[in-house]
Amino acid sequence: MEDFVSESDSDYTSYWRDWFISSRGNEYFCEIDEDYLTDRFNLTGLNAEVSYYQYALDLVTDVFDLDCDDEMRETIEKSARHLYGLVHARYIVTTRGLAKMLEKYKKSDFGKCPRVLCHSHPLLPVGLSDCPNVRPVKLYCARCEDTYNPKSSRHASMDGAYFGTSFAHILFQVYPALVPTKSADRYVPRVYGFKMHAAAALVRWQGNKRDDMRRRLRKMEIESGFKDGEDEIDDEEDEDEEEDEEGVNEEEAGMADYGGAGTTVQAPGGDEV
């Protein structure tokens, strides 16, 4: 939100909220009802999160009348945008807020899932943290249950706390008919038309994870129950190596027997053995 530039008074519409919602990069936001903004109970604790809180609230509610210079005005505007975002996270989990966001969801205002097998399923904004200035907003697909980065850089820099971690999931609890059928389609790797062996891929993945864990434990020298497991892994690897060596020795012995029984060997002196 800090990337937005200041606008002069002449650029504002009748209401600050209308200007804010219509600004480029704010398409994910819905308009908060004035009754909700003026109810002090809904703003509990935000005065500690927002600098120049009262001035910012006055600006958002269109009662701002402070005569200040441009620098001070820019600071208050930045605080007003931050305040609106924090209130927005609370508003969109209310009945009225969910209804407004539902309309935007149905129109795919938040974008569509980039995963091919989700067939352009609409997305919902979601935060990975409820704390401000921690993680930017992501887009959640209810079909594949994964999150994606927004396409636009304006949206990608938006604070995820302005939508919160719970909104998308509360929406589907309130409107269960919207829960999509989970995507059972998966991309199947093939080599010349033949499927990759799933069991072999799983074994390779497990082996890599095991080796990574063992290396981390050795590097950090952690004394835990995993140490015993690590020793067992080492023992198993030693046993495997011994078995491989025994197999090689047996193969060499078999070749020697085969050579002694069915072939003639020329001795160094010229005599046949």
Task: Record the pTM.
Answer: 0.66
Strands 146-148 and 190-191 turn out to be unpaired
The pLDDT, as a whole number, for residue 253 is: 53
Boundaries of every domain in the chain: 16-180, 190-227
137, 127 contact by CB (below 8 A): yes
The pLDDT, as a whole number, for residue 210 is: 80
In degrees rounded to 5, what are phi and psi of residue 232? -65, -40
- Sequence-distant (6+) residues with CB within 8 A of 157 are 1, 3, 136
Both tokens of 87, joined, read: 């209130």
Q: Is 139 helix (H, G, I), strand (E, B) or coil?
A: strand
Both tokens of 7, joined, read: 């606008």
Taking phi over 0 as left and psi of -120 to 50 as alpha, with beta for the rest, 261 belongs to alpha
Task: Select 16-180's CATH number: 1.10.600.10, 2.20.25.20, 3.90.700.10, 2.60.40.1510.
Answer: 2.20.25.20
Closest CA to 142 of 180, 104, 187: 180
Residue entry with tokens 């919207």? 178
d(CA 213, CA 56): 50
Task: Tell me the pLDDT of the chain (273 aa) as tens digits.
Answer: 444 444 444 444 458 889 999 999 899 999 999 899 989 999 999 999 999 999 999 889 888 877 778 888 889 999 999 999 999 999 999 999 999 999 999 999 999 999 999 999 999 999 999 999 999 999 999 999 999 999 998 899 999 999 999 999 999 999 999 999 887 778 887 888 887 777 777 778 888 888 888 788 788 877 544 445 445 555 555 455 555 555 545 555 555 454 444 444 444 455 444
Q: Calculate the alpha carbon distances from 9 to 4, 14, 63, 71, 98 in Å.
A: 15, 10, 14, 14, 32
Strands 194-195 and 146-148 turn out to be unpaired
